Amino acid sequence: MSTLNQLPVVVIGAGPVGLAAAAHLHERGIAFTVLEAADTPGAAVRQWGHVRVFSPWRYNIDPAARRILDEAGWVVPDLEALPSGAELVGDYLQPLAELPQLKPHLRYGARVEAISRLGRDRLRTAGRESTPFLIRLADGDELLARAVIDASGTWGTPNVLGASGLPARGETTVAAFLEHALPDVLGAARDRFAGRHSLVVGAGHSAANTLLSLAELAATTPGTEVTWAIRTASPARTYGGGDADALPARGALGARLRAHVDAGRIRLLTGFSVHALTPTDGRVTVVVRHADASEESVTVDRIVAATGFRPDHSIAAELRLDLDPVLGATRALAPLIDPNEHSCGTVPPHGVDELAHPEAGYYAVGMKSYGRAPTFLMATGYEQVRSVVAALAGDWTAARDVQLDLPETGVCNSNPADSATGDSCCGPAPTAEPAARGLATGISGGLLSAPLNLVTLDAAPADGQAGGCCGS
């Protein structure tokens, strides 16, 4: 065994995919260390603990994790039930992290600041692949590793409100009025929304869940107004397939949202592109710029930025990464998940070959592997780490035997009495699915059976009940 292989594999992040990687490493007999910046496992999931995912338990449990949990006498949840984020952590991730096979190898409060090769910057090639990785933590501590599996996710790096991919003018100055995706509208954050006018920006499932919670709040709290703004001309992607969806809770999400819009309880604004934000007498004014350079504005109390996420590759700046210039995913994976091409189609199961970089031994997995694509599935992440760990073990036959078993419409998240976190899309799915392919997003079946009367910005009242959008 080489000196390099005597070092552990370092996993960054103790979320669902990071802990799944740890379970697979354990099963393969490979030494590992999991570095988690927070003080608990599943820290990002805990932040949307009030949300109920729309995929049943059976799609949210990694097979290797299940095997070692079963050995410990784990009480298996109802595999057909829909867990909340809090249940996902409390009933699965926390027990998994507490297992003696994993717990000694988890380090909390360990934020990774940078990754490099020991004694070699990005320019030096000679002997690079046989040189250990150097992982530097924010507290100055350093670790050596034979390989790095980066499952740190994207929750901490949301997209901006500005429609050009840059912050809108004044966006940083109105931070006090902005909300991260999936605020607990009916719980801890209730006082920030009750009796106020809220603008939700975005067209994904996180936006839909927040809108449904706000509509429920408005039904019991006078003065609560809800405006939904999207950049596109139609909400069809968000409404989804209704009864045609293979996951009933997911289909119900769009149907309920559309009912609120049709009834006028949620005002929908389309063609909405945020240009500037300005504090105005304890509220915030959102200025919208149209394609013809004309502008108009609306003043609201709160803005929920449900505009998606982007990866932060800065910790790997001294590694040789081959990133797609559009998505920030690997160049090999990007064409398979590009929402410009595949937002409603199938995504092939993929593993170590599609996740590999020129920097041998470094893999970004999970949500981070998808870059800016909004179509990531938890089950996809589990299969990614299974493939990567098999490759690290030298079992290339298993590493390349990548398969994914998903329901017809894919597995993302939520419903608000049943709520969630992922973004997705809509559109007819292929009628025939090739072998070994999993449907990433997409809705099977008819989308909108009747035309929907949309409110465009140009038709908005002069007093400006309009909103801003970045979600698409």
CB 270 within 8 Å of CB 455: yes
Residue with tokens 């008819």: 446
> For the segment 311-350, what is each residue's pLDDT rounded down to a tens digit?
999 999 999 999 999 999 999 999 998 887 754 335 678 9
Environment class of 94 (CB within 10 Å of its CB; exposed 0-12, middle 13-18, buried 19+):
middle
CB 227 within 8 Å of CB 199: yes
**Average pLDDT rounded to a whole number, residues 25-52:** 97
Beta strands (DSSP E) in 41-141 are 106-108, 112-117, 133-137
User: Of 64, 453, 432, nearest to 261 (Cα)?
Assistant: 453
Give strand pairing partners of 200.
228, 304
> Residue 401 to residues 27, 387, 390, 391, 395: CA-CA distances in angstroms?
18, 8, 10, 11, 10
CB 192 within 8 Å of CB 198: no
**Could you give the percent of the chain with pLDDT greater than 90?**
68
* CATH topology classification for 171-305: FAD/NAD(P)-binding domain (3.50.50)
Residue 354 DSSP label: H
Residue 226's H or E segment, with its range, is strand 225-229
Question: Residue 6 has which token pair?
Answer: 């005597």
* Predicted local distance difference test score (pLDDT) of residue 349: 82
Residue with tokens 């603008």: 199
- Residue 22's Cβ-side half-sphere holds a number of Cα atoms within 13 Å equal to 32
* Predicted local distance difference test score (pLDDT) of residue 246: 54
Measure the CA angle with vertex 307, ends 301 and 310; round to 5°.
Answer: 135
Pairing of strands 455-456, 267-270: parallel
As a dihedral over the C-alpha atoms of residue 117, residue 120, residue 125, residue 130, rounded to 10 degrees, the angle is -40
Single-letter amino acid, residue 190: R
Crossing angle for the helix pair 378-392 and 63-71, nearest 10 degrees? 80
pLDDT for 411 beyond 60: no
pLDDT for 142 beyond 70: yes
CB 8 within 8 Å of CB 35: no
Q: How many CB atoms lie within 10 A of CB 264?
A: 9
Domain ranges of the chain: 3-156+309-400, 171-305
CB 200 within 8 Å of CB 211: yes
pLDDT for 390 beyond 90: yes
Domain covering 3-156+309-400 in this structure, CATH number:
3.50.50.60
CB 34 within 8 Å of CB 25: no
Question: Residue 359 has which token pair?
Answer: 């920097």
> For the segment 85-135, what is each residue's pLDDT rounded down to a tens digit?
999 999 999 999 999 999 999 999 999 999 999 999 999 999 999 999 999
Give strand pairing partners of 40.
none
* Predicted local distance difference test score (pLDDT) of residue 45: 96
Q: What is the DSSP string of 361-429?
A: TEEE-GGGGGTT-S---HHHHHHHHHHHHHHHTT-HHHHH-------TT-----BSTT--------SPP
Same-fold call for 3-156+309-400 versus 171-305: yes
> For the segment 228-272, what is each residue's pLDDT rounded down to a tens digit?
999 888 888 778 766 555 566 666 788 899 999 999 999 998 888
pTM: 0.84
Could you give phi then psi for residue 352, rounded to 5 degrees? -60, -40
pLDDT for 464 beyond 50: no
